[in-house]
Amino acid sequence: MNEYLQKALADALSRYELDRSSWPDIQIEKPRDPSHGDAATNLALMLAKPLQSNPRKIAEQLVEYLELDENLVSSVEIAGPGFINFRYSKDYLMKNLHHILQKGETFGSSDKNQGKRVLVEFVSANPTGPLTVGHGRNAVLGDTIARLLEWTGAEVDREYYFNNAGRQMRVLGQSVQARYLQLTGRDVPFPDGGYEGEYIRDIAKSLAVEFGDKLQDKEDISVFKERAEKEIFNDISATLNRMNIRMDSFFNEHDLYENSSIKEVIQALRKDDLVYDEDGATWFRTTKYGKDKDTVLIKSSGEPTYRLPDIAYHKNKLERGYDLCIDVFGADHIDTYPDVLNGVRALGYDAEKIDVLVYQFVTIVKDGKPYKMSTRKANFVTLDELMDEVGSDVTRFFFLMRSPSTHLEFDIAQAKEAGEKNPVFYLQYAHARIHSILRKVEDVAEFTGSPPLHLLEDESETDLIKNLLEFPEVIISAANSREPHRLINYLDSLAASFTTFYHDCRILGEDPKLMYARTALATATSRVLANGLSILGISTPESM
């Protein structure tokens, strides 16, 4: 309906002698007060300056110019200083309720991004330890954004980027080697800055079981590093599967060195005088892009900073033909990713095709106190431990229920609550409750033919229908903004709307025709709840 109203308003606006470049955005919003109608626009107020006229007079003229189908819009009203309010017709509501019932599990999907290829890169944790709660928000955000985009018609690939070379992996191999030697009777010190988690001992034990003491004199740490990488990746994959997340591809940073991509980036930037050498390091002239200082790409030690392989990696993404590349990064990347985007631009690629979602970190609250995490010192909370404690559904939901831009406090006590204080339980219970009602209806009635939806006239019935019809636009909004919590807010509102409807309108014990109509409305609500929860990657139990 929003698109229909926007087009009608644009047609009305075209009757003014006003250059299109000065047209304001035509915004349609749901009024906060339902008595003001079903949709509203402030277009007349936005036109007051370019038309140099009173906004209420503009509103009156726009309404006069509007050509609306009365089967869709029953009335148009002007309110306050010049707001234009629209009311949907009953015919429109009933036809679309029937549409929900017909579409079923595909209701809410659209072709907004049809034909668009999208790559979502997320998680991207190096295989140095199990996934922690910090990785969890990244994983769930990335997967849910991918799901939202798929529901809008996009072809989406999920990619995991990792580095199995460099200092971190070297320290990992040394850590496993030290634990192995200790297990096989050698008194050796643990490396400074080594990984101290219990998982390191487990990997060392597996090597001791397989090889005994045969690796004691092995100076090359490759066997220790490779075993650690394999077992940690197996653990990461199992954790992701448990969270209902699948990856389409894994990209190894090391390949960018093997195929000379890193070298080619430096050569191309140097050719355009955007790279220079000083004090033994290689610098990127980021001052040309507004930064106060230039940025090191290769340290004096010869080791590249994160920015260099990231520039090569994003060049690779765009060369693979993606229309949009989404990166899901923690707040620690906020200073580095602009340099990567500038590097991509400098190489002649369209950096507008790269969209970076920066999310804030997570604090686990346990016994009323924050619980600190550190993968190196191993006093971290793993995702598996969290799921053991609260379940995978709750884990996913809690990571999504706040805007990515806000810090998330994960309250274990609330997450374990089996009642309305637990928001995911509230939605799952609403879905299960509807199915309980539907089972009772099946026991007393057998309906044939199309439901007589015209009998739905109560205010709480029409309010629920209007709420249901917002679902497709909520998905588009959440997908475009990369904000899955918008869908959660909508589902909360829908569940509350159903509760009001069920309180005001009996289903069982009513006239059979009215019971059929209300059963259809309950069925549609169940379907939208199920579709919404499936996008969030959360199960939809039919009994609880």
pLDDT digits (tens, 9 = 90+) for 95-109: 999 999 999 999 999
Is 527 within 8 Å of 391 (Cβ atoms)?
no
Q: Is the Cα torsion angle 409, 410, 411, 417 positive or negative in sign? A: positive
What lies within 8 Å, CB to CB, of 479 at 6+ separation is 112, 113, 145, 148, 149, 151, 152
Which has the closest alpha carbon to 199: 383, 56, 69? 383
159 bridge partner residues: 121, 249
Q: Which residue has the tokens 């999920």?
A: 158
Is 313 within 8 Å of 251 (Cβ atoms)?
yes
What lies within 8 Å, CB to CB, of 246 at 6+ separation is 158, 240
Q: What is the mean pLDDT of each run of 10 residues along the chain (544 residues)?
A: 91 87 89 89 92 92 92 92 94 96 96 96 93 93 98 98 89 95 93 90 95 91 94 96 96 94 96 94 94 94 92 97 97 91 96 96 82 55 89 95 93 82 91 95 87 95 96 96 97 96 92 95 98 97 88
pTM, two decimal places: 0.91
What pLDDT, in 10s, does the model give residues 241-251?
A: 999 999 999 99
Q: Where does residue 249 rank: exposed (0-12), middle (13-18), buried (19+ CB within 10 A)?
A: exposed
Record the tokens describing residue 451, joined without a space.
């439901």
pLDDT of residue 81: 92
pLDDT of residue 376: 46
Instruction: Tell me the pairing of strands 281-284 and 295-298.
Output: antiparallel
Which has the closest alpha carbon to 46: 69, 13, 73? 13
pLDDT of residue 142: 98
Q: Which domains does the chain have, with CATH numbers?
A: 2-88 (3.30.1360.70), 93-110+420-535 (1.10.730.10), 167-242 (no CATH)
Helix (H) or strand (E) holding 410: strand 408-411
